[in-house]
Amino acid sequence: MAKPFTVPSPADADAEYGTLDARYIALGEELSQVTKDADLLDADMRARPSPAIRIAVAELIGETVDTTLLDRSRRLKELRQRIADLEAAREIIRRKRDDRLGKASLAACTIAKTEYAKRIGKFIAALEAAKAAYDDADAVLDALEREGVQVTYMPPARSNFFAGSDSGLQRFIAEARSNGHVD
């Protein structure tokens, strides 16, 4: 049994696009985590403010100070700078990825072209069979009318797609041929 066709994504079809896309996603994941860390640290700073006096003064008056509270503002500044750097990097990667999308799309369409043509061929064959069945059914109405029967007592089911010599089917086949999907 043949393996089912898998439609290629731009990342599947073009290695450079795939690399840019993977980098963009990785930067986004890191940005999400760093933003979460910064938000948690900011919330902690609001909930537990740093001591109002310096550590040395607190020791002189006999108070203990949680020294872990003192380093938070420096760490928050570092996290915010990392967020800004990640956002700038993501924007650069996004632009590069967007610039590469045309080449990646062409590669994906090239990969899918044969499968698409095969399916269009099957569709046309099905339409031709449907047209033949429609013409066969329509022949009954034509025969009744030739006999002088008023066919209004049996309302017809007519399709504009199949009606007439310049039918929708012929236009569809011509378009498929002109686009190179079928011979």
The per-residue pLDDT for range 152-165, each reduced to its tens digit, is 888 777 777 776 65
pLDDT in tens, 22-55: 999 999 999 999 999 999 999 998 998 777 777 7
The whole-number average pLDDT for the span 62-81 is 86
Distance of CA 154 to the CA centre of its chain: 49
**Residues 84-87: contacts with CB under 8 Å, at least 24 apart:** 86/27, 86/30, 86/31, 86/34, 87/31
Residue whose pair of structure tokens reads 């393996």 in the numeric block: 3
Residue whose pair of structure tokens reads 């399709």 in the numeric block: 159
Instruction: Find out whether 100 and 20 touch, Cβ atoms under 8 Å.
Output: yes
Alpha-carbon distance of 38 to 55, in angstroms, equals: 25
50 secondary structure, DSSP code: P
User: DSSP states of 150-166 as a string?
Assistant: -GGGS-----TTT-SSS
Nearest-10 Cα torsion for 49, 54, 60, 65: 30
Q: What is the model's pTM?
A: 0.71
